[in-house]
């Protein structure tokens, strides 16, 4: 089956970066923290462009004029997407709420989503690998990585995803809820385990799924991505892409410092 190419991506930047407060100077947005001398958000925009993305929507938060200036100035420059738009998420109500702000931007086409606090080192851009699985399957896709117990302090409280590897695809059996935000990854006694991280390709149905989750949730509850992924999986419209390369969680100080060191080495 021929699936249309994905040319648009959303980068959610509305969070306050509380876990990174010790590294953020003054009022600078956390997404502007330099990794190997280049701001996080620009590294993710480079990955998007290298994956065939031509247009990016930055979901920013109030008071992040420095972020807005940086991403708009980068649009169309070498190695960057041709077009960049910015929309404000007035209140940080969760990742799914940020994704929903891309409904009009997506224009009934599949939409890539790339979190700025997740970076990858490898021969092929992580997002390009997800787009390959999307083309193969026509399904929504979430990035899957294998994390080791030895480096658990460098990753956030993501849960273990039961499933099986099929070449570059990860067939997800179940998506558990996340752990407490003040914890780190727990492989439950195993040497390593698989989990989902911040790269996605969503079919247009994701927006109705987010609305559905909100309608069944208590008023004012944060709209996280996990319930949406769980709903899509239950309907047989979500699969995983086992990313070939090293995953770096720069949303934690330990992970950020590791990423900065490794990108400086080239």
Q: Where do we find the tokens 């190997």?
A: 36
Q: How far apart (Å, rounded) are the C-alpha atoms in residues 5 and 109?
A: 9
Q: How far apart (Å, rounded) are the C-alpha atoms in residues 227 and 96?
A: 9
Residue-wise pLDDT for 183-205, tens only, equals 777 778 888 899 999 999 999 99
What is the per-residue pLDDT for 221?
86
What is the per-residue pLDDT for 185?
78
pTM score of the predicted model: 0.93
What is the per-residue pLDDT for 239?
98
Q: Calculate the dihedral angle through the C-alpha atoms of 261, 47, 103, 98, rounding to the nearest 10 degrees.
A: 0
pLDDT category at 154 given cuts 50, 70, 90 is confident
Can you read off the two tokens belonging to residue 79?
């190695």
Q: How far apart (Å, rounded) are the C-alpha atoms in residues 97 and 87?
A: 12
Please say if the pLDDT value at position 6 is more than 60: yes
Q: How far apart (Å, rounded) are the C-alpha atoms in residues 231 and 234?
A: 5
Assign 132 to helix, strand or coil.
helix
What is the set of domains in the chain, with CATH numbers?
Answer: 8-265 (3.90.550.10)
Q: How far apart (Å, rounded) are the C-alpha atoms in residues 259 and 266?
A: 11
Residue-wise pLDDT for 156-186, tens only, equals 778 899 999 999 999 999 999 886 766 777 7
What is the per-residue pLDDT for 183?
74
In this structure, of 27-41, 75-89, 120-134, 226-240, the range with the lowest mean pLDDT score is 27-41
What is the per-residue pLDDT for 54?
98
């Amino acid at each position: 089956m021929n699936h249309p190419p994905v040319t648009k991506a959303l980068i959610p930047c509305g969070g306050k970066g509380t876990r990174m407060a010790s590294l953020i100077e003054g009022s600078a947005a956390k997404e502007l923290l330099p990794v190997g001398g280049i701001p996080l958000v620009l590294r993710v925009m480079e990955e998007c462009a290298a994956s065939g993305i031509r247009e990016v929507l930055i979901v920013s938060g109030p008071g992040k004029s420095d972020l807005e200036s940086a991403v708009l100035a980068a649009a169309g420059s070498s190695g960057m997407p041709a077009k960049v738009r910015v929309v404000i998420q007035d209140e940080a109500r969760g990742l799914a709420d940020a994704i929903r702000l891309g409904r009009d931007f997506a224009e009934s086409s599949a939409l890539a989503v790339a979190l700025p606090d997740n970076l990858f080192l490898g021969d092929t851009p992580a997002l390009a690998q997800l787009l390959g699985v999307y083309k193969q399957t026509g399904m929504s896709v979430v990035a899957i990585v294998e994390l080791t117990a030895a480096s658990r302090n460098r990753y956030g409280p993501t849960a273990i995803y039961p499933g099986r590897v099929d070449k570059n695809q990860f067939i997800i059996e179940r998506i558990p809820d996340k752990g407490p935000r003040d914890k780190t990854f727990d492989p439950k006694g195993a040497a390593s385990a698989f989990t989902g991280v911040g790269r996605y390709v969503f079919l247009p149905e994701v927006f109705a799924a987010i609305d559905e989750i909100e309608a069944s949730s208590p008023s004012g509850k944060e709209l996280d991505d996990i319930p949406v992924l769980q709903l899509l999986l239950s309907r047989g419209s979500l699969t995983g892409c086992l990313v070939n390369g090293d995953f770096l969680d720069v949303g934690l100080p330990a992970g950020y410092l590791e990423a900065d060191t490794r990108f400086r080495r080239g």
